[in-house]
Structure 1
C-alpha cells in the first residue's frame, strides 16, 4: 500500500500514484502538524508532490531513492537545491 495515514504521520512507500493524491491532500488539510515519512518512497506523482509543497508537512524520514533524496527532498525542506549565484556588484 503506497499510502498509510495515521493520526499525525503519513507513510508514503513504493510508487505513489495519482490515486493517492486526493486522500493525501485531504489528510494534510485536516491534520494538525502533519509529518510525512518518505523512507520507502521511490516514485512520487507530481500531484502528491504539489500537495506536499502546498501544505509543507514535516518530513521525518528521507527517501532512500537517489532522485527523490537529491532533487525532491530539498524542495520539500524549503531549499531550491540549485547553484548559488554570485551577487551582482553595485554600479
Structure 2
C-alpha cells in the first residue's frame, strides 16, 4: 500500500497542470448558461473542488505556481459574476 502512495507523490507536475486545465474547461462549459442557484449543484461543486485540488498540486513547483494562479482566479471571477447576476435578477 505504501507503494501506491509513493507512486502518487511521484506524479509529474505537468500531469496535474493538464488535469487542472481540463477540469477548468469542463467547469466553464457547465457554467456557461448556468443559473446562480445552480452553483450549489453537486456536479459543479465537485468540479470546483477538483480544480482546486489539481491547482494545489501544481503549486509544488514555483514555475507552475505563477502560471496556475490565473486559472483559479478566473474560476472565482466567473462564480462571482453568476452570484451577482442572481442577486440582482439579471
Give the TM-score normalised by the residue count of structure 1: 0.31
- Higher fraction of strand: 1
Give the TM-score normalised by the residue count of structure 2: 0.31
- Higher fraction of helix: 2
